[in-house]
Amino acid sequence: ATTTATATTTATTPAPTHARGTDRVLTGDRPTGPLHLGHYFGTLHNRVRLQNEGVDLFLVIPDYQVLTDRDVAERLSDHVEGLVLDYLGAGVDPSRATVFTHSAVPALNQLLLPFLSLVSVAELGRNPTVKDEIAHSRQSAVSGLMYTYPAHQAADILFCKANLVPVGKDQEPHLELTRTIARRFNERYGPVFPEPRTLLSEAPLLLGTDGTKMSKSRNNSLALKASSDETARLIRGAKTDATRLIAYDPEHRPEVSNLVLLTALCEGRDPHEVAADIGDGGASALKAAATEAVNTYFAPLRARRAEYAQDMGYVRELLRAGNAKANEVAEATLAEVREAMGMFR
Ligand code: ATP
Ligand code: MG
């Protein structure tokens, strides 16, 4: 299946089509709600592909990060368990992946201290993703965590020395910071960390039903686990434009093109071809096609998720095992870091 797509690949971070045997992949999702189609086509699909090619896959659930843009973290455990179900439904193999919550890994969190010393306040302040998130935040005051979480994310990635990070486009500035931190640490104290590469997908920025980035917390997302009816209702309400002739033109017609791309991704087709098929059927024909494509593609995933949901004891066990493994890895890395920095032993 080839989709040519939005072509938002970056020159600075060439995406290898195949992982090398030595790759260690880390990526993750905030426990703020159910995963959506943006996650799936932006990163989850790549994670599962890499896992199936045999790489070491670490999935972080950064629970402290929930507090970047809200005062209290609500329904944390529910969201964490829901994420694990979404992973399993999407094809993450519990025997090959390490899934963990970063709050349960003290040695990982301790890396934040030296890491913060390696970046300037100005660098933290000019991060475009942080600025966008502040603009969409409902908080009146911006917390220190909002500015420092990208350095925390560097700890999430570097504690296990990951060298490949499959993410959506919003994460590029954060990955740049991670590379900066790794490089400066190595220059200052000796070689400990890799400089991880970013892996973008062919849909690095899927839009939500309101035409802005699909996000768990913006009330604009199509959840992976949604029912067929719910999916139909949400797509029916999606923002489009008034031009009857459907075309794939992300720059000039972002909302329409987003639905075309979504259909193309689900059907494994070229978006231009999908648009040509719909022709002058207008938004209603496009929405019908998108609904059909999404519901068909995700039916097996939803069924698998529902099966795993029968046994939440298993899901919790998986997290406990993942946390134990992450702690082992983090303690080993922290020992190296303390040694490199000349801390008392
Ligand atoms: P929140 O609104 O709570 O921030 P989110 O939907 O932005 O949730 P995150 O947990 O912040 O999701 O992001 C997890 C991963 O999914 C990141 O790699 C991010 O780049 C990717 N991702 C999130 N939204 C999209 C999207 N709309 N298109 C492509 N990738 C996305
Ligand atoms: Mg986000």
Per cent of the chain over pLDDT 90 is: 90
Supply the residue whose CA is at minimum distance from atom 15 of ligand 1. 29
Which residues have CB under 8 Å from 290's CB, separation 6+?
A: 235, 259, 260, 262, 263
Which residue, 87, 12, 15, 7, is CA-closest to 47? 87
C-alpha 216 – ligand 2 centre gap (Å): 7
Determine the atom of ligand 1 nearest the C-alpha atom of 169.
20
Residue ranges of alpha helices (H) inside 16-127 are: 37-39, 45-52, 76-90, 106-110, 112-117, 121-125
What average pLDDT does this structure show over 119-135?
96
What's the pLDDT band for 21 if we cut at 50, 70, 90? Answer: low
Which residues have CB under 8 Å from 94's CB, separation 6+?
A: 88, 318
Beta-carbon count within 10 A of 78 CB: 11
Q: Domain ranges in the chain?
A: 24-205+311-341, 226-308
Supply the residue whose CA is at minimum distance from atom 7 of ligand 1. 215
CA atoms within 13 A on the CB side of 206: 31
What's the pLDDT band for 3 if we cut at 50, 70, 90? Answer: very low
**216 alpha carbon, closest ligand:** 1
Query: Is the per-residue pLDDT at 94 higher than 70?
Result: yes
Query: Is the per-residue pLDDT at 7 higher than 80?
Result: no
Query: Is 153 close to ligand 1, i.e. is its CB under 6 Å away?
Result: no
What's the pLDDT band for 345 if we cut at 50, 70, 90? Answer: confident
Residue ranges of alpha helices (H) inside 91-249 are: 106-110, 112-117, 121-125, 128-136, 144-158, 172-189, 228-236
**18 vs 199, more confident:** 199
What's the pLDDT band for 22 if we cut at 50, 70, 90? Answer: low
What's the pLDDT band for 6 if we cut at 50, 70, 90? Answer: very low
Query: Is the per-residue pLDDT at 14 higher than 70?
Result: no
What's the ipTM?
0.98
C-alpha 26 – ligand 1 centre gap (Å): 15
Determine the pLDDT at residue 71. Answer: 87
Determine the pLDDT at residue 20. Answer: 54
Query: Is the per-residue pLDDT at 338 higher than 70?
Result: yes
Query: Is the per-residue pLDDT at 1 higher than 90?
Result: no
Determine the pLDDT at residue 138. Answer: 83
Beta-carbon count within 10 A of 43 CB: 24
* Strands, E assignment, 192-317: 197-199
CA atoms within 13 A on the CB side of 114: 26
Class of domain 24-205+311-341: alpha beta
Query: Is 34 close to ligand 1, i.e. is its CB under 6 Å away?
Result: no
- pLDDT tens digits for range 190-221: 999 999 999 999 999 999 999 999 999 899 99
Query: Is 47 close to ligand 1, i.e. is its CB under 6 Å away?
Result: no
Length of the chain (residues): 345
Determine the pLDDT at residue 191. Answer: 98
Determine the pLDDT at residue 139. Answer: 85
Per cent of the chain over pLDDT 70 is: 94
Class of domain 226-308: mainly alpha
Supply the residue whose CA is at minimum distance from atom 6 of ligand 1. 215
**44 alpha carbon, closest ligand:** 1
What's the pLDDT band for 308 if we cut at 50, 70, 90? Answer: very high
Query: Is the per-residue pLDDT at 140 higher than 50?
Result: yes
Determine the pLDDT at residue 210. Answer: 97
Instruction: Name the DSSP letter for residue 60.
Output: E
Burial of 266 (0-12, 13-18, 19+ CB in 10 A): buried
**136 vs 92, more confident:** 92
Mean pLDDT of the chain: 93
Query: Is 172 close to ligand 1, i.e. is its CB under 6 Å away?
Result: no
Determine the atom of ligand 1 nearest the C-alpha atom of 205.
28
What's the pLDDT band for 12 if we cut at 50, 70, 90? Answer: very low
For the chain, how far is it from start to end, CA to CA, in angstroms? 54
* Residue 210 contacts residue 220 (beta carbons within 8 Å): yes
Show contacts of 14-23: CB within 8 Å, 24+ apart: 14/197, 15/198, 15/199, 15/200, 16/164, 16/197, 16/199, 18/53, 19/50, 19/53, 19/54, 19/55, 19/164, 21/54, 21/55, 22/163, 23/50, 23/55, 23/56, 23/163, 23/164
Q: Which residue's structure tokens are 């009330």?
A: 219
Determine the atom of ligand 1 nearest the C-alpha atom of 221.
6
Supply the residue whose CA is at minimum distance from atom 13 of ligand 1. 29
CA atoms within 13 A on the CB side of 179: 15
Three-state secondary structure call for residue 25: strand
Determine the pLDDT at residue 192. Answer: 98
Task: Give, for ligand 1, the residue of 41, 43, 212 to mutate: max count of ligand atoms closer than 8 Å to Cβ.
Answer: 43
Q: Establish whether domains 24-205+311-341 and 226-308 are of one fold.
A: no
- CA-to-CA separations, 128 to 8, 64, 219, 251, in angstroms, rounded: 17, 21, 22, 20
Determine the pLDDT at residue 198. Answer: 97
Determine the pLDDT at residue 97. Answer: 97
What average pLDDT does this structure show over 229-236?
98
Query: Is the per-residue pLDDT at 9 higher than 70?
Result: no
